[in-house]
Structures are given as structure tokens and as C-alpha cells.
Amino acid sequence: MLTVALPKGELLKNSIRLFQSVGLDFSAFLDSGTRQLQILDASGQAKGLLVRGQDVPVYVEYGQAQLGIIGYDVLREKKPQVAHLVDLQFGYCRMSVAVKASSAYKSPLDLPPHGRVASKYVNCAREYFHSLDLPIEIVPLSGSVELGPITGMSEAIVDIVSTGRTLRENGLIEITTLYESTARLIGHPLSYRLNTGNMHQFVEKMRQEAALTAV
Ligand code: PRP
């Protein structure tokens, strides 16, 4: 049987809608009355696992799920050994460097050598500043990174920007974008080769759905 890993949070509703469009119904995960983390889809063809976004590639790498949906940002940060199957065209956001709006930094190159940058995406941040040949100290955080510059702990942050509201309401501005991100369908490479749970037909349908969205 096919098992899919679905991400909690921002991407969940669209992920469930996409699976519904290919005949797999995991909408029970949206039912606030349940705390179940594993469910069978309504047609009995597949099992759904509800996991944190960062953990989706872990279940797919270990082969506990043959398919998963995750943001490109997580793929860039974690570099998991999974097959990148489809750009799903939803969940748009970007990875940016931001600073206090009142600061004098207009570009990342204005940041002081050995200055501090707070981030949940330490690998992306490190790679980016390395590519600029700018030595900085990464301060790893797991959330509310905007507080880094606000409290004076760091000069800048590297973080996801979606609507831009969090930056705005905390007096921060973007000074550059590292890359743009959308939701991606990933697969367990061996299962994909073996077409476990008839996964090719679902992947193909999702590819068609995504192409329609892109138009
Ligand atoms: C993410 C991100 C920003 C915010 C951006 O945080 O880290 O803080 O969303 O969204 P916006 O541009 O639409 O305002 P998340 O909601 O995951 O919370 P966290 O900081 O606790 O991780």
C-alpha cells in the first residue's frame, strides 16, 4: 500500500486538496476533533502520515512513506536523499536576508565582518554568506527569528518571507532574496523505480494538476 507524508502547517490544506484531486482523501486530518497522526484514505488505497514539515523528507528517505510534500526551502536546507518529482506550484515564499528598517545595511555586503545572522535555516545562511566570502557568525534559532535584530542579538536574519507581514509588523525589511520556494512532491527513489503502490499513476496525475495551476 502507498504511504504519503503530509506536512503540518501552511502547506497542509493545499496538499490535502491535491491528493483529493487524484482520488486520495486525507481530509480527516483537517478535522479538529481528531488527533490521529496516521489515517487510511477514504478509498482504502493509501495511508497518510501527518508530520512536521522538516520531518517529511526523513520519512521518505527511510522509505516509511513513498511520497511526501515539502517546501523547496526544506530541501535546500536538509539536502535529503529523495527523488524530486513535481514542483506543485503552491506554497510560494522566498528565503531572504532581512535587517532592521532603521539600520544602515542596504545590502548583505554592508554587514560587518564577523557580524551575527540569526536563522532557522543555518545551512542556507552559511552557504549564502560563504558564497559572498563574508565571514559571519550564524546564530541558530528554531522560531521567531525576527527577535534577533530587534533585541540586538544579531545584525540580520535569514528567513522565509511569505506575505511579508511578520517583517513589517516587527520593523524589519528585506535586503536580498537568496531563492524562491514552492511546495514539492518528493518520493523514495527505490519505491519510485519499483512503482510501489502504483505510485506512478498518482505522480503523473499530480504533475498534470500542477501544470494546470501553472498556466
Ligand atoms: C514563518 C517565517 C516568518 C513568517 C513569514 O514563521 O519564519 O516568521 O512565517 O510569514 P509572512 O511573511 O507571511 O509573515 P512561522 O509562521 O513558521 O513561525 P516561527 O517563526 O515560529 O517558525
Q: What is the mean pLDDT of the chain?
A: 96
Rounded to whole angstroms, the Cα distance separating 190 from 91 reads 27
Which residue among 150, 162, 173 has the greatest number of ligand 1 atoms within 8 angstroms of its CB, and so is best to mutate? 162
- Secondary structure in 3-state letters for 2-44: EEEEEECCCCHHHHHHHHHHCCCCCHHHHCCCCCCCEEECCCC
156-161 and 172-181: which strand pairing? unpaired
pLDDT of the residue at 215: 66
38-40 and 137-140: which strand pairing? unpaired
Q: Is the CB of 162 under 6 A from ligand 1?
A: yes
Count helices and strands (H / E) in the chain: 8, 11
Tell me, what amino acid is at 31?
D
Q: Is the CB of 169 under 6 A from ligand 1?
A: no
pLDDT tens track for 42-96: 899 999 999 999 999 999 999 999 999 999 999 999 999 999 999 999 999 999 9
How far is the centre of ligand 1, averaged over its atoms, from the C-alpha of 167 (Å)? 9
Instruction: Report the predicted TM-score, pTM, of the whole model to 2 decimal places.
Output: 0.94
Q: Report which of 88, 91, 70 is spatially closest to residue 79, judged by C-alpha positions.
A: 70
Q: Is the CB of 143 under 6 A from ligand 1?
A: yes
pLDDT tens track for 115-165: 999 999 999 999 999 999 999 999 999 999 999 999 999 999 999 999 999
pLDDT at 97 over 80: yes
Mutual orientation of helices 12-21 and 199-214 as an angle, nearest 10°?
Answer: 110
C-alpha cell at 89: 506550484
